[in-house]
């Protein structure tokens, strides 16, 4: 596909971690650096698309030409994704969204209690952003790509996620491999996508995230057009 073909496409990408507040000074989060999502945004822009990046808190520069919307929590990201996904041709969920948030966020800093060695937090499930986008009805539903960052049984979990979340494509990677995935500039991945005949896959060897991002964007646009 040439840049001209993608010029009128709108790509919406979620990236980075989310932060789930416990009190005014503490939160739950994860190690996502946002690098893969930002590389995807840069690759989609380079392919000629209009790109909106819904970003959790990361210390990365916004790729040139990309519209960035900063969010903090999973609920904030959910609100922005719901608003923007129906305007997208391609939605890529690359964010490491916290699965749970605190049921109650304390208004004031929680104090250490002298009378107990343990503290119990009650967490409630966050909405599954990408699954909700994938469940949109046509014509509002974009082509939907998800990510699966796993530390074991990557292929099994990825297959299950593709089906359970109703995705069109999934990019799976083993984040336990040293030098790959979280925080690193390189990534290896297993791509899995639906075809009318079933599910196809290919293996992407370790490579810079920018190169993997180009492959994912190209593959998604090719599938979008078939």
CB of 164: closest distance to ligand C5P in angstroms? 8
Quickly list H helices, 85-201: 129-134, 154-164
CB of 148: closest distance to ligand C5P in angstroms? 6
Whole-number Cα distances in Å, 60 to 15, 83, 102:
11, 24, 27
CB atoms under 10 Å from CB of 119, counted, come to 8
Closest to ligand C5P by CB, 1 or 141: 141
Q: One of 8, 30, 126, 187 is an active-site residue; which one?
A: 30
How far is the C-alpha of 181 from the C-alpha of 166, rounded, in Å?
24
Q: Which residues pair with 23 in a beta bridge?
A: 26
Count of chain residues binding ligand C5P (CB under 6 A): 15
List the one residue from 11, 13, 14, 101 that touches ligand C5P (CB under 6 A). Answer: 14
Per rule CB under 6 A, is residue 147 in the interface with ligand C5P? yes
List, edge to edge, every strand of the sheet that includes 186-195: 67-70, 50-55, 10-15, 90-93, 143-150, 169-174, 186-195, 198-208
**DSSP SS3 for 161:** helix
List the one residue from 53, 129, 144, 217 that touches ligand C5P (CB under 6 A). Answer: 129
Pick out residues in 63-82 that bind ligand C5P (CB under 6 A).
74
Closest to ligand C5P by CB, 84 or 97: 97
List the one residue from 54, 93, 162, 212 that touches ligand C5P (CB under 6 A). Answer: 93
List the one residue from 161, 187, 189, 220 that touches ligand C5P (CB under 6 A). Answer: 161
Whole-number Cα distances in Å, 166 to 10, 31, 34, 40, 201:
21, 26, 24, 21, 16
How far is the C-alpha of 9 from the C-alpha of 109, rounded, in Å?
45
Per rule CB under 6 A, is residue 126 in the interface with ligand C5P? yes
Instruction: State yes or no: is 126 an active-site residue.
Output: no
CB of 204: closest distance to ligand C5P in angstroms? 16
CB of 113: closest distance to ligand C5P in angstroms? 31
Closest to ligand C5P by CB, 1 or 105: 105
How far is the C-alpha of 188 from the C-alpha of 174, rounded, in Å?
8
Per rule CB under 6 A, is residue 166 in the interface with ligand C5P? no
Q: For binding to ligand C5P (CB under 6 A), which residues are involved?
A: 14, 74, 93-95, 97, 99, 126, 128-130, 146-148, 161
Q: Which residues are catalytic?
A: 30
């Amino acid at each position: 596909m040439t840049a001209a073909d993608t010029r009128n496409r709108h790509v919406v990408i979620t990236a980075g971690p989310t932060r789930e507040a416990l009190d005014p000074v503490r939160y739950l989060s994860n190690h996502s650096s946002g690098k893969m999502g930002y590389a995807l945004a840069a690759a989609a822009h380079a392919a000629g698309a209009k790109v909106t990046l819904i970003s959790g808190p990361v210390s990365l520069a916004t790729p040139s030409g990309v519209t960035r919307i900063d969010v903090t929590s999973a609920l904030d990201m959910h609100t922005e994704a719901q608003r923007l996904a129906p305007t997208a041709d391609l939605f890529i969920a690359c964010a490491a969204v916290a699965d749970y948030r605190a049921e109650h966020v304390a208004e004031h800093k929680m104090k250490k209690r002298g009378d107990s060695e343990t503290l119990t937090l009650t967490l409630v499930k966050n909405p599954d952003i990408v699954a909700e986008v994938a469940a949109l009805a046509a014509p509002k539903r974009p082509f939907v790509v998800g990510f699966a960052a796993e530390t074991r049984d990557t292929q099994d979990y990825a297959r299950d996620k593709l089906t359970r979340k109703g995705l069109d494509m999934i990019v799976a990677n083993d984040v336990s491999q040293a030098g790959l995935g979280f925080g690193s500039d390189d990534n290896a991945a297993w791509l899995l996508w639906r075809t009318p005949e079933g599910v196809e896959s290919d293996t992407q060897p370790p490579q810079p995230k920018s190169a993997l991002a180009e492959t994912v964007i190209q593959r998604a646009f090719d599938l979008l057009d078939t």
